[in-house]
Structure 1
């Protein structure tokens, strides 16, 4: 079976492009941000301050620490219940609208 590719002349052969050609292509394409605004981040991020003198938090220390680095102060919980440092996850959410662990959307509207 022979299929006709009507868009053949529009496709770019990036495998055979030079470094300069790839840079020029990147400049023509521009940037697309998939991140959230600071207002949206405050809506989807619940901040938790760990208190080591609280016996309930002390018993659940494995659950109340950052998923990545296990530190327990100034945590931010996404709607998917993953915990991260508030400042670290806020930086991440500025560029990506997903949880870096479970890859679900960070906005609450998407958890219905």
Structure 2
């Protein structure tokens, strides 16, 4: 859910894991360790100014996922620690899988590393693992401005969905990564998906898809894509 009037063009996810050991003097076991997972999501919203000025902070939404689950795994000396943590996270995060799924590998890595770093100094029977997923959403004012300029000329007639799906992806060796995407004006780069229009002009896949969903013209040469 976004704040009123906010359009998300791209988002970046960063998980942060903290581990708090709980020492028990009476029930400590060399074979079992209780891990309690607490999940929360912090969504922050930013507006990228059209003239490459500093991004403007627009607000935040904090969500407590409230599912506080407990998993019992073998002691940390177990060689299967990583696999068991991965399985435990899959079970406790299933209710908010959409948000956490693509970050699970990083969360497991952070959790395992922090658990192993405290075993030499703490005799733990239980640990509390807090996982906060920070999601930064960006509304790109450059794209919004380009769409507004296009709408004043083109009457906002979108290209057909079928024609957008047929756009040709560009391989790394077929493009110059220093070339600019003529929608957002950033370099195409080497690790981004790039699409080529029938007129041979290249754009970031995400940029040109959003553009064509509003205007059926190439933003550079005014080549007309099919419409419904």
Taking structure 1 as the reference length, what is the TM-score of the superposition? Answer: 0.49
Larger radius of gyration: 2
Q: Could you say which structure has the higher strand fraction?
A: 2
Q: Comparing both structures, which one devotes a greater share of its residues to helix?
A: 1
